[in-house]
Amino acid sequence: MNHLIIAPVLLPLLAGILLLLLRPFAIELRRLLSLLAVLGQVILAVTLLPVVHSGEILTYTLGNWAPPFGIVLVADRLAVWMLLTTALLASFALLYALRGSDIRGRHFHVLFQLQLFGLNGAFLTGDLFNLFVFFEVLLLASYGLLVHGGGRLRTRSGLHFVVINLAGSTLFLFAAGTFYGVLGTLNMADMAQKIALLPTEHLGPVKTAGLLLFAVFALKGALLPLHLWLPSAYANTSAPVAALFAIMTKVGAYSILRLETLLFGSGAGALAGMINHWLLPLALLTLLVGMLGALAASALRQQIAYLVVASVGSLLIAFALGSSDGIAAGLYYLPHATFAGGAFFLLADSIAQRRGGLDDRFEPAGQLADGRLLGGLFFLVAVLVGGLPPLSGFVGKWLTLQASITHPWMPWIMTVILLGSLLSIIALARAGSVLFYRAELVRPSPNRTGALSLEVVPVVALLLLCSALVLRGAAVDDYTRATATQLLQPAEYIEAVLGHDRNARTELSLNANGVSQP
């Protein structure tokens, strides 16, 4: 058994606990430890990447309890791809936080590491109830991070975020309970196997539970009509937290993808493709509504939050296509959207700090200090987010459009994606001209904080990662296509988790759950 798989889960957990114990020590020590832990996660993800790229699906049985009885961690191509994206984003968000926003409240680094613990666990687990537990871990940490630093607006949007997520957790438990009541298992591979052989009279409850679960993941991923919590939560929190939260909506998207391909994939008999019917129209609407929100926004951070909603829409359109090309396009788009969203939130904070009392509202202010550099970066990020060539946003959109050509909904998908791009360019052009061109020359720069060159390092690094997605496009495309192929053959996943003698084990589990099996 390869112990490397559990390391991405253990490292942030141990680092978090250690940081809690080190509270009396100097902040520099804790910052260093936190940074080292995040770098360690990048290294772990990079180590795992070539192993899973060969097509091998690694499993780790906790406590050596054989699946489907024990909890199992599964590292396949998709899981490691998510781990890598998370770790890279987290390291630059943390780098930005080290400039001072981490000491505006208590326990920033502890919560940051525990958030990563929850995220990594959610990507690796192969058990539905364990997924619920990791969701709760990451949510509890995110509640703390969201209100970190305090303030009226932050507390209010924090309350909304917590209440809606608690309601979501309740729905998750209802869905998990229904699945267990009908299928007698919570191991996702075993569930997939049982759904495939489901007798007709049990189709109803399983379909209900599946759609409930879809609703929960749609809530986490901010899919229309469950996106309303996102703009105020993201717009009011601190910049590094907002940047880290760019991955939070992707957890929802990841879970939807698992649900779509593993539980209700091609092998699911009568329920195959159940999720896709709902996903595509909702994702198209999400993209449109997000772009309209970005157009109507009155402040930069609010606009970015709506652009995050729209990027979830684009991502899920690609996943909803259901074809290997579509999923591969989505997996290419996913790191791009995450890095671009993170970079934009960090840049917005740098801009807002230089505009005096106006903060990030779209009203003409005095000329910005370092306006040229910030403006140049804003232009690059806008090109990235708007999906213009030559950066990765364009490649992601192009791949999605190409994959949609054979889809029956092709006219709708093309129209919405292209219209969305146009709306985003208009919105970003408006924002840029108010922030940089309509500045009054007479007024001096209000307040200049810190050395800019250090401050923009994380933004530049995230932009470089996005350009690496283009420059190394062939390698990335290879990997995402291989991932999509692997996802569309859930038999491999089931085989890896349950092993070769899975029929014998299924018999055993039937007997063990004798009371719950009709």
Partner 1 sequence: MEALIALVIGVLTACGVYLTLRARTFPVVLGLTFLSYAVNLFLFTMGRLTIGQPPVIQAGAEHYADPLPQALVLTAIVISFAMTAFVIMLSLRTRADLGNDHVDGKEVP
Closer CB to partner 1, 181 or 389, in the complex: 181
Between 363 and 507, CB nearer to partner 1: 507
Residue nearer to partner 1 on the CB measure, 163 or 454:
163
Nearest to 80 by CA among 100, 52, 56, 54: 52
Do residues 353 and 447 touch, judged by C-beta distance below 8 A?
yes
And the tokens for 138? 């990451």
- Report in angstroms how near the CB of residue 134 gets to partner 1 at its nearest: 11
Distance, in Å, from the CA atom of 514 to the CA atom of 518, rounded to the nearest integer, reads: 8
Q: What are phi and psi of 442, to 5 degrees?
A: -70, -45
Go through the chain and tell me how many residues it has.
518
Phi, psi of 267 (to 5 degrees): -85, 5
Given the complex with partner 1, which of 119 and 365 has the nearer CB atom?
Answer: 119
**Alpha-carbon span 96 to 92, nearest angstrom:** 6
Least distance from C-beta 118 to partner 1, angstroms?
A: 12
| 8 A C-beta contact, residue 279 and residue 319 | yes
Of residues 344, 307, 314, 346, the one with CA closest to residue 332: 314
CA triplet 444, 446, 448: central angle to 5 degrees? 110
Nearest CB to partner 1, comparing residues 100 and 181? 181
User: Residue 152 CB, nearest distance to partner 1 (Å)?
Assistant: 5
Instruction: Take residue 29 and report the two structure tokens written for it.
Output: 């020590």
CB 92 within 8 A of CB 243: yes
Of residues 2, 9, 4, 246, the one with CA closest to residue 124 = 9
Q: Nearest distance from residue 507's CB to partner 1, in Å?
A: 17
Binding site for partner 1 (CB under 8 A): 129, 133, 136, 140, 143, 147, 150-152, 155-156, 158-160, 162-163, 166-167, 169-170, 173-174, 176-178, 180-181, 186, 513-516
Q: Which is nearer to partner 1, 134 or 339 (CB)?
A: 134
Q: What is d(CA 118, CA 13) in angstroms, rounded to the nearest whole number? A: 9
233, 234, 238, 239: CA torsion to nearest 10: 180
CB of 143 to partner 1, least distance (A): 6
Q: For residue 58, what is the enclosing H or E element?
A: strand 58-61
Output the DSSP codes for 289-356: HHHHHHHH-SBHHHHHHHHHHHHHHHHHHHHHT-SHHHHHHHHHHHHHHHHHHHHHHHHHHHHHHTSG
Q: How far is the CB of 249 from partner 1 (least distance, A)?
A: 21
Instruction: State the nearest-atom distance from the C-beta of 130 to partner 1, in Å.
Output: 10
Q: Which of 373, 456, 388 is nearest to 422 (CA)?
A: 388
**Cβ-based nearer residue to partner 1, 170 or 453:** 170
- Nearest approach in angstroms of CB 167 to partner 1 is 6
- Can you read off the two tokens belonging to residue 363? 């009203």
Residue 431: CB minimum distance to partner 1, A: 27
In the bound state with partner 1, the residue whose beta carbon lies nearer, of 189 and 381, is: 189
Q: Which CB atom, from 43 or from 173, has the smaller least distance to partner 1?
A: 173
Nearer of residues 172 and 436 to partner 1, judged by Cβ? 172
Minimum gap (Å) between residue 511 Cβ and partner 1: 10
Output 140 or 295, the one with its CB closest to partner 1: 140
* Long-range contacts of 417-423, Cβ-Cβ distance < 8 Å, separation of 24 or more: 417/287, 417/314, 417/317, 419/288, 419/291, 420/287, 420/288, 420/290, 420/291, 420/310, 420/313, 420/314, 421/386, 421/387, 421/397, 423/291, 423/292, 423/294, 423/295
CB of 126 to partner 1, least distance (A): 16
